[in-house]
Structure 1
């Protein structure tokens, strides 16, 4: 692991340390609310918990609330709610994408099958809505329900762009704004809502989360073509095999020679792939330097996120969030 990645891990570790008690309470809430008399639900849920995960989205809720001076306990249940929404979408995504790995371990659908994964995902969405109702804030309900709908729209939009070489950069950004960044934004904004901050600070939190989420997904898309599989926690090249038009590929297609365009047409648009094709795709991506260009685009979103963060109170939490954002583009997992 290189030095930049170590700094990334340290930034996440420092944020986790600052929120140690809150995160422990959130994890307890997650485990308690995953319980059910239907045995398969806690079994599948236990598999998800055992597979790990950075808990980044609930950490953003906890951090945003504390950054804004919140001193109560509502943020714990809302952080659990955010994690349930995220986990439900992962369960559904792995079924849609036919993924066999999640965080380096067998995915839930690979172990339990597609039907249980979809239905337990539905269960987790329902638990999330219960937690929203228990919180009692219509504004929190509006933000998190809106994010849930936007995530679904983003996933459907991604299906419509799959295998479509005419996908524009703008449409790609619409996809990742919906499927990833919207929940980052909501996770941050609800922290400001329960802290009763003004509209400007809440908007800054939402903008920080949105930009961070956009950068995070861009890096994810780059890692699918650049990471080591044991670090990434999923099969390298999955996006290529599924015909997804992610940013590294869009850039390579935009700069393609006629011969290269024929390759992308056959492998992505017509989905006619052979064993050596992934290696060829990686070679073309290296030729056009699209990984570095994708990371550079992510850095622009991080610059915007850091600007938004300056609107918020200056304290250790803000500094740690800034550090986490700054090194998002250095991560390797």
Structure 2
């Protein structure tokens, strides 16, 4: 874990700028595909999809596909449509998630479901899923289709698993990690792995990039779940304390509940069941999280997975692409600071 900590302790804050610069030309091509394929003869579809797609997201997942392709010196163009497919899968899941969670903010903007309603959001999400599969089929690789379609199924499984675990304080760490490995890390892994397929590299290369993406995705979600309790809406782009009010039993809650005294454990039981959801209750939760080091230890765990991601690409040639992928991991973790 020392390498990650050493890099995080440097004077300049980690940034996605090196990755953005690395893939800028490719991303222009990806954006053109996205804009073209979100069009429809039904005006509501591009209007609603565009609300989220154009809302300032970093497009990290398609950037990872492009950056991994650069790591492998791939010089073709297949990854442009596939990166767009990855973004459509991600956007579709966000539209569906916001309906399930009843979220009011996404990336600092009012969510589509709050503007157009739940039905429209779900159906446009379905449209984007369908567009993603069109792009996969056009690529013509059964292996790519298998990787991305499997990721889509795993994401859905993860979301259902999270739904069944919601408000259950007895959710354990193993189940929590299974949830985030599915709902978040699966798409990170697939986005990275398909770069090796289009570059016609061997299975070892595929699985190294899969491991990079998977561990990065877990680290990314761990940080997200921690900062839900220590950040604010303006910084996160969503309502602060959403997970707390929704009764999502994330790692900070699991650790605080396990380490707390009887009063604290009862608080968490009541809070996750929906009986304690006020701003004062959130403040009390933050106090208990601090007292039990639950947030700090969640960040430590994120660093561990971040280091695993960095280690996974240790055998690839060092250079601009490698450095950008390493700094991408550091950025994902440093969002907490």
Common fold by TM > 0.5 = yes
Deviation at 1:275, TM superposition (A): 4.3
Alignment of 1:72-221 (within 5 A): 72-221=76-225
Match of 1:241 in 2: 245
Match of 1:265 in 2: 269
Deviates further, 316-325 or 134-143: 316-325
Distance 1:5 1:23, change over 3 A: farther
- The DSSP-based 3-state class of the residue aligned with 2:16 is helix
Distance 1:99 1:3, change over 3 A: farther
Deviation at 1:14, TM superposition (A): 1.3
Distance 1:295 1:66, change over 3 A: same
Give me the whole-angstrom Cα distance separating, in 2, the residues matched to 1:235 and 1:5: 30
Q: CA RMSD in A?
A: 1.6
Match of 1:292 in 2: 296
Equivalent of 2:21, from 9, 17, 37? Answer: 17
Could you tell me which runs of 5 or more consecutive residues in structure 1 were left unpaired when the two chains were aligned: none
Aligned length: 330
Equivalent of 1:68, from 72, 93, 104? Answer: 72
- What is the TM-score when the length of structure 2 is the normalising length? 0.95
Deviation at 1:4, TM superposition (A): 7.5
Match of 2:3 in 1: none
Q: Does residue 331 of structure 1 match 2:332?
A: no
Q: Which segments of structure 1 move beyond 2 Å, counting only runs of 4 or more?
A: 2-8, 269-275, 311-315
Give me the whole-angstrom Cα distance separating, in 1, the residues matched to 2:71 and 2:133: 25
- What is the TM-score when the length of structure 1 is the normalising length? 0.96
Give me the whole-angstrom Cα distance separating, in 2, the residues matched to 1:270 and 1:99: 16
Q: Does residue 7 of structure 1 match 2:13?
A: yes
Could you tell me which runs of 5 or more consecutive residues in structure 2 were left unpaired when the two chains were aligned: 1-7
Q: Contact (CA 8 Å) 1:4, 1:327: kept in 2 or not? A: no
Equivalent of 1:36, from 37, 40, 43? Answer: 40
Deviation at 1:312, TM superposition (A): 2.2
Q: Contact (CA 8 Å) 1:26, 1:76: kept in 2 or not? A: yes
Give me the whole-angstrom Cα distance separating, in 2, the residues matched to 1:302 and 1:102: 25
Q: Does residue 317 of structure 1 match 2:318?
A: no
- The DSSP-based 3-state class of the residue aligned with 1:245 is coil
